[in-house]
Amino acid sequence: MDGQKDSDNIVTVALRAAISHWFIMVDYGVKAINSDTTSLEKMVIKVGIVGGTGYTGVELLRILAVHPEVSVSCITSRSEAGMPVADMYPNLRGHYDLAFSEPDVAVLGACDLVFFATPHGVAMRMVPELMSAGVRVVDLSADFRLKDLDVWANWYGMAHESPEWAEKAVYGLPEVVRDEIRTAQLVANPGCYPTAVQLGFLPLLEQGLVDPARLIADAKSGASGAGRQGKIGMLHGEIGESFKAYGASGHRHLPEIRQGLSGAAGGDVGVTFVPHLIPMIRGIEATLYAELKNPADFDRLQTLFEERFADEPFVDVMPFGSHPETRSVRGANQCRMALHRQEHSNIVIVSSVIDNLVKGAAGQAVQNMNIMFGLKETMGLEAPALLP
């Protein structure tokens, strides 16, 4: 019997020693139990950003600076390599000691997740190697948004170089494909206009209440939507005290909008999309028009929208007849919308507003990251909008 007890004690000691070096996979990362403590110690998500000098890049940095589960380990820029991030963006002084660096796949491959905040054509060339390294990617460019690569090539003027990953990429509109995002290795972050337009039309198309061949999206964006590059047409002296449509004969976001709305409708849609430039920095307002098949359905639309988005943390359905303002979502990862009807018309009017740099870009990218790593979806994105 004593021999059996000694044997049991030896096994117990061996198990304890093994447990002291054991790693447990929990949701988004690894938590280690070491020999000095019995508490679980969380591993922070190591993030890299490719293309950090534009407005989307700095917005990612701003949001991630207060994210409790993220460490930004590298941020790249070929043109500004060596420049401290805080020298370019003084609002980040005291938050980052990083300097911009040349893109290095080996360095990026050591990250848990990489954001691409680059012009089209960059991510598709780098993503395959990162995928092979097991890195997860959220691409904020247009490289992986469209499934029809002939359409993509037509709009972007080049052949797609990563068709395998274009097929596998998940189009990351959380309100539609949250479950797919959870397990995705590559997420294509939706564009700004497509986010505002799709969210506003979704309940109507999902329930088959409107004519899918007669959809109109009349949208307006602030100047930051055009990026940070110096262009004469974007100077304050050119756009101040002015208002204009652009891309009325066809805009690159049109096929993305059509693709998303077709998915919601379960078939082809006909959509007219006209963007406008307004002389403000941030914000998108999309006024959406759709024709009800049965005008009597107007009586249930408010309830339909409220129920559809009841569990969505970043969609706010306002009371019927409200007028959402872009300033009410400035700096927030929020889409705010309201329904309207004029007299006895059978046309549904939806007003949908977002911050083009947050829910329309960096904020939605962080929302996708949170979902991918099993974090609380609102983590790092809970601050209210800025007013005034």
Catalytic residues: 192
* CA atoms of 264 and 119, how far apart (whole Å): 28
Chain mean position to CA 189? 4
Strand partners, 314: none
* CA atoms of 103 and 78, how far apart (whole Å): 7
Chain mean position to CA 67? 16
Q: How are strands ordered across the β-sheet holding 41-42?
A: 23-26, 29-32, 41-42
Token pair for 364: 């939605």
Q: 314-317: long-range contacts at Cβ-Cβ below 8 A with a sequence spacing of 24 or more? A: 314/174, 314/175, 314/359, 314/367, 314/378, 314/381, 315/175, 315/199
C-beta atoms surrounding 29 within 10 Å = 16
Q: Find out whether 64 and 363 touch, Cβ atoms under 8 Å.
A: no
